[in-house]
Amino acid sequence: MINTLRNILRWKIATLARLTVRRFAPGIVGVTGSVGKTSTKLAIGAVLGMSRRVRVAPGNLNNELGLPLAILGNWSEKDIRRVSREGRGGIFSKGFFWCKVLILGFFRFLFLPKRAYPEILVLEYGADKPGDLKELIAIAKPSVSVITAVGEVPVHVEFYANQQEVAREKARLIECLPSAGFAVLNFDDPTVMALKDRTRAHLTTFGFNKGAEVELARFEHRVVEGEPMGISVKIVHSGSFVPVRIEGVFGKAHAYAAGAATAVGLIFGMNLVSISEALKHYVPAPGRMELRRAVKEALLLDDSYNASPLSMRAALETLQDLPAKRRIAVLGDMLEIGSYAMQAHEALGRPVSESVDILITVGPRARFIADGAVRAGMEKEKVFRFDEAEEAIDTVHDLLRKGDLVLVKGSHAMHLEQIVESIKIR
């Protein structure tokens, strides 16, 4: 019964979203990839929002219900949390919300003036399993598509035969583009660049490697009087360049987001100077390499929202690059990587041993990270293993000292935000 009602809701909301796109004809920028989708989406929104009416899909609205929801209106965080997978709202409150969405969506479709609807929608396209993107593209086909990264072991690979199948699913977002459209690809990811011949659209690239159309150079973490402040990077395009400073963010992932946003801004006729100014307004989503003050005069690097092998390595590189008396990593399971799980977790042992003074793992899979770190030379006395986040809280508190920098990162379902909440200073 519940599945039947869900299927009816999916059909109704998808149909209404398609009709809305057809009537208002906004420009659509689609973002997909295994990592970095949300940050890239927000960076693009910050850039295009300087001169256009832009709506950026909030939160993690990237599936068959979330994407139409983003098309149909702006919704409160409370509403979005209520209908999310982790939402605690009852069946009646959820039902009331979806009725409100359908009624308001239909009213706006009929009566909202075209000038009141966004000129551009920046939408996130999730691909948990084969066929997901085809369904989402049928609702809203982009004219500009961005593929952020796939990596050697992408997330959600458990529902695919291999990495190449994941990449082929992501490629749907550029295969659907018209010849006048634009495909924006991560030049540094070989799996992404292998897709370049699968589109008839104009191709543009971003990345740190020489040859990228939008080249990122001289990346560094800005530190003032021992205090991490943010990132700086030089963005180069067609012989011109601009310096970009973004306060309060850390890690190359945000530089990649800035690079993708620059490529999209150029497509929409912006120049490098205006793009650089716009990127100052880029604010990442919570739990993405967010620096916070912690108890005992320590610093917390909150990257607890989600994790994949690629983003784990990037987070460890950032941890190593920032100043600290001691570096502590609290790492949880990386989920949805299927048969790669043991190998991918164990492989993190060496970079952990090279960048971390104390390791705390949470979850059965993360124990393989601990095992790999010990085999790579890390002292056993500096490695602590727990099954659940709640169990690790007291140990994290006891270990923290003045001047420590602690990274907290794991898949969303590991609930490492409990540790973040327990040690951050509000």
Where in the chain are the domains?
A: 2-279, 290-423
Check residue 153 and give its pLDDT.
Answer: 57
CA gap 229, 231 in Å, rounded? 7
pLDDT-above-90 percentage for the chain: 74
Helix, strand, coil share (%) of the chain residues, nearest 5: 45, 20, 30
* Residues contacting residue 291 through CB under 8 Å, at least 6 positions apart: 228, 248, 250, 299, 300, 301, 302
Residue 18 has pLDDT above 60, yes or no: yes
Q: Residue 295: CA atoms inside 13 Å, Cβ hemisphere, count?
A: 13
Residue for token pair 């800005």: 222
Mean pLDDT of 183-210: 96
Select from 144, 162, 142 the least CA-distant residue to 154: 162
Could you give the CA distance from residue 161 to residue 295 in angstroms, rounded to a whole number? Answer: 45
Give the pLDDT of residue 76.
79
pLDDT at 413 over 70: yes
Q: Do residues 255 and 220 lie in contact, with contact meaning Cβ atoms separated by under 8 Å?
A: no
Alpha-carbon dihedral angle through residues 279, 280, 285, 289, given to the nearest 10 degrees: 100
Mean pLDDT of the chain: 91
DSSP string, 239-251: TEEEEEEEETB-S
- The token pair at 404 is 């420590």
CB atoms within 10 A of CB 364: 12
Distance between CA 221 and CA 219 in Å, rounded? 7
Class of domain 290-423: alpha beta
Contact 232, 243 (CB under 8 A): yes
pLDDT of residue 162: 66
Residue 46 in this model has a pLDDT that exceeds 80: yes
Assign 58 a pLDDT band (cuts: 50, 70, 90). Answer: confident
Q: What is the pLDDT of residue 298?
A: 95
Concatenated DSSP letters of 257-308: HHHHHHHHHHHTT--HHHHHHHHTT--PPTTSSEEEEEGGGEEEEEE-S---
Beta bridge partners of 121: 28, 55
CA dist 115 to 23, 27, 53, 356, Å? 12, 13, 9, 53
3-state secondary structure at position 22: helix
Phi/psi at 131 (5° precision) = 95, -15
- CB-based contacts of 382: which residues, under 8 Å, 6+ apart? 357, 358, 359
Q: Kindly state the percentage of the chain with pLDDT values over 70.
A: 95
pTM summary value: 0.92
Token pair, residue 361, equals: 């793992």
State how far the alpha carbon of 77 is from the alpha carbons of 57, 67, 84, 90, 278, in Å. 12, 15, 10, 16, 24
- At position 49, the amino acid (one-letter code) is G
Tens-digit pLDDT profile for residues 71-105:
999 887 777 776 665 555 567 777 888 899 999 99
Mean pLDDT, range 334-345, rounded to an integer: 86
Pick the CATH number of 2-279 from 3.30.1180.20, 3.40.50.300, 3.40.1190.10, 1.10.3210.10: 3.40.1190.10
- Mean pLDDT value of segment 32-47: 94
Residue 211 pLDDT grade (very low, low, confident, very high; cuts 50, 70, 90) = very high
In the block, which residue shows the tokens 């021992």? 226
* pLDDT surpassing 90 at residue 389: yes
- Comparing 154 with 326, the larger pLDDT belongs to 326
CB 63 within 8 A of CB 126: yes
